[in-house]
Amino acid sequence: MKKSKFLTAFVVLVYIFLFAPLVIIAMTSIGTENYIAFPPKGFSLQWFMNVFTSESFMNSMITSLGISTIATVIALIIGMTAAYGLSRFDFKGKSLLKNF
């Protein structure tokens, strides 16, 4: 019984440490002030508007989208070519690879 209570307390503590930063970030992102207030003194989306109207942020987003698209296409081409080769051709160790 004691072990169960200890385990429950430990799990709750771990969850608090995991989710407290996320709650703080969410509260700060919708707050009206530059600092953390609990409870929040108001509701505002000004920080999101500041980010999405920033030209440097949008340029960075477009660059990241382009790089991730190119990386995905390259990975798909390499993966499909490798999968085709592994499925169609016989080679030493193919049965070992299938078991893996």
Angle ∠(92,95,99) on CA atoms, nearest 5: 140
Do residues 25 and 37 share a domain?
yes
pLDDT at 48: 85
| Residues 11, 42 within the same domain | yes
Q: Which domain holds residue 68?
A: 55-100
Where b means 16+ CB within 10 Å and e means fewer, 32-49 reads eeeeeeeeeeeeeeeeee
- The DSSP result for 60-72, as a single string, is HHHHHHHHHHHHH
Same domain, 18 and 43: yes
Tokens of 65: 């989208």
49 pLDDT exceeds 90? Answer: no
Percent of the chain surpassing pLDDT 70: 93
Distance between CA 27 and CA 46 in Å, rounded?
13
Domain co-membership, 20 together with 10:
yes
Q: What pTM value is reported for the model?
A: 0.56
Per the structure, the count of domains in the chain is 2
**How many other CB atoms sit within 10 Å of the CB of residue 31?**
20
Residue-wise pLDDT tens digits, 29-47: 887 776 766 677 777 888 8
